[in-house]
Amino acid sequence: MRFDGVWFRYARRADWTLRAVDAVVEPGQTVVVLGRNGAGKSTLLQLAAGVLRPGRGAVRDRPPTVGWVPERFPADQPFTAGDYLHRMASVRGHDPAEADEWIERLLLTGHTGTRLSDLSKGTAQKVGLAQALTGRPGLLILDEPWEGLDAVARTLIPEIVAEVTATGGMALLSDHRGETAHLPGAIHWSVTDATVQPTAAPPAPSRDEVVIEISVPRASADEAVVRLRASGHAVLGVRDVKGPRSGDSR
Ligand SMILES: Nc1ncnc2c1ncn2[C@@H]1O[C@H](COP(=O)(O)OP(=O)(O)OP(=O)(O)O)[C@@H](O)[C@H]1O
């Protein structure tokens, strides 16, 4: 996908929010967009998603299926979470059952009967993420994904991004706090003074560590992640485990 001389402003006589953007995202690539508040990261992501149209220039070769998670999920809609996800899957031409995979993986099963407007902010963000992932997008766009999401979902982001890119998809994420430093192989763009430039990745922390796997009841997953983090541990991932328990038979 290519930004080909893209200029954008929000009103006819306003200053340009983005000027002369030329940038390429290759298949299988992850791009992290850095920049201070108000620099234009969300604007760039919405141009990539096709939600905004350039004033000049064009975004070319966008994959046919785009999953976009805005910074804030618009929860003021008259559906339950389950209804919303199944309807959105149908509207986008996917099997509604595909939504169920993400409902389960993002630990949303207990929330499917809740109205969107009654969900907590973090759960609503997960519904937005499930919506974007249904149908296996060739371009996944996550606007500040670390901001609203709960602890479990945050650990899933690198895993989900890796799955999208492993099959030749592209991922575009914005990050104003440098939390995406751990996305392996990502390239970084910086939005400064209305222009977009490649920039160096923030340095990754050095390690001399071991990985310990633990299991907890599904309902306690979020609390466990929060506690482990609070104790100074790095939580690398959360996955669903089905079937009889093994490995603790002593
Ligand atoms: N709908 C809009 N109408 C007019 N101006 C807007 C609109 N949305 C954003 N802007 C302005 O465009 C500029 C870029 O905003 P944008 O949201 O893209 O920045 P950002 O880098 O994503 O910031 P943040 O990190 O705070 O989300 C800001 O000055 C913002 O106030």
Tell which one of 10, 34, 174 to mutate to probe ligand 1, the residue whose CB is within 8 A of the most ligand atoms.
10
pLDDT digits (tens, 9 = 90+) for 59-88: 999 999 999 999 888 888 889 999 999 999
DSSP per-residue codes, the chain: -EEEEEEE-SSTTSPPSEEEEEEE--TT-EEEEE--TTSSHHHHHHHHHTSS--SEEEEES--S-EEEE-SS----SSSBHHHHHHHHHHHTTS-THHHHHHHHHTT-GGGTTSBGGGS-HHHHHHHHHHHHHTT--SEEEESSHHHH--HHHHHHHHHHHHHHHHTT-EEEEE-SSSGGGGSTT-EEEEEETTEEEEEPPPPPPP-----------GGGHHHHHHHHHHTT----------SS--S---
CA of 174, closest atom in ligand 1: 22
Q: What is the predicted pLDDT for the residue at 250?
A: 44
Assess whether the C-beta atom of 41 lies below 6 angstroms from ligand 1.
yes
For the chain, how many residues are written?
A: 250
User: Rounded CA gap, 133 and 76, in Å?
Assistant: 21
User: Percent of the chain having pLDDT more than 70?
Assistant: 92
Q: What is the pLDDT of residue 187?
A: 93
Residue 142 CA to ligand 1 centre (angstroms): 16
Is 37 close to ligand 1, i.e. is its CB under 6 Å away? Answer: yes
Query: So what's the pLDDT on residue 202?
Result: 67
**Per-residue pLDDT at 89:** 94
Statement: residue 20 has pLDDT above 60: yes
Report pLDDT for 182. Answer: 67
From atom 11 of ligand 1, which residue's Cα is the shortest distance away?
38
pTM as predicted: 0.83
- The answer, yes or no, to whether any atom of ligand 1 lies below 6 A from the CB of 43, is yes
Higher pLDDT: 242 or 164? It is: 164
pLDDT for the residue 239: 76
Q: What is the mean pLDDT of the chain?
A: 88
Kindly state the tokens that stand for 94. 């996917």
Please state the atom number of ligand 1 nearest to the C-alpha of residue 43: 18
Residue nearest (by alpha carbon) to ligand 1 atom 5: 10
Q: Indicate whether residue 175 lines ligand 1 (CB < 6 A).
A: no
Residues 143-147: what's their mean pLDDT?
A: 84
Gap from CA of 37 to ligand 1 centroid (Å): 8
Domains of the chain and CATH, by start:
2-207 (3.40.50.300)
- The gap between the terminal CA atoms of the chain, to the nearest Å, is 54
* 29 against 151, higher pLDDT: 29
